[in-house]
């Protein structure tokens, strides 16, 4: 399983537009083949223009299938226009889980 974390920093005037875009597309992303989990996190004030997506993918291949899909391309094209800083993404594996 792959854990994908993406940090995005938005222009303050674009926060609500981004949240609306995420709301509109979240089910399609979550239901994309290979996606097991998706959540959106928002920083607390004064950093409330910083968001993280946190998602679980069955494999790196499944994540890449999403990253090269029309759904991702169209969503990312709209999203990146709202950034105040370049996004940062990292793929991780769980090293240890406490029950």
Joined together, the tokens standing for residue 89 give 């993404």
Stretch 89-95: mean pLDDT, rounded?
95
In a domain, 63, yes or no: yes
**pLDDT tens digits, residue range 20-52?**
999 999 999 999 999 999 999 999 999 999 999
**What's the gap between Cα 38 and its chain centre?**
8
In a domain, 13, yes or no: yes
How many distinct structural domains can be found in the chain? Answer: 1
Find the helix or strand (DSSP H, E) in which 82 lies.
none
In a domain, 99, yes or no: no
Q: What is the pLDDT of residue 99?
A: 83
In a domain, 21, yes or no: yes
Domain that includes residue 76, residue range: 2-92
pTM > 0.85: yes or no: yes
CATH number at residue 11: 3.30.70.100
In a domain, 97, yes or no: no
In a domain, 23, yes or no: yes
Query: CB-based burial of residue 98 (10 Å sphere; 0-12 exposed, 13-18 middle, 19+ buried)?
Result: exposed
The verdict on whether omega for the bond into residue 93 sits within 30 degrees of 0, i.e. cis, is no
In a domain, 98, yes or no: no
Joined together, the tokens standing for residue 45 give 């004030």
């Amino acid at each position: 399983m792959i854990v994908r974390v993406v940090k995005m920093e938005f222009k303050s005037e674009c926060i609500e537009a981004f949240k609306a875009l995420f709301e509109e597309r979240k089910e399609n992303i979550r239901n994309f083949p290979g996606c097991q989990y998706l959540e959106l996190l928002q920083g607390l004030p004064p950093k409330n223009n910083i968001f993280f997506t946190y998602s679980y993918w069955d494999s790196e291949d499944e994540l890449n299938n999403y990253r090269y899909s029309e759904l991702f391309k169209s969503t990312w094209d709209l999203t990146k226009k709202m950034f105040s800083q370049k996004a940062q993404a990292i793929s991780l594996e769980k090293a240890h889980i406490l029950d």
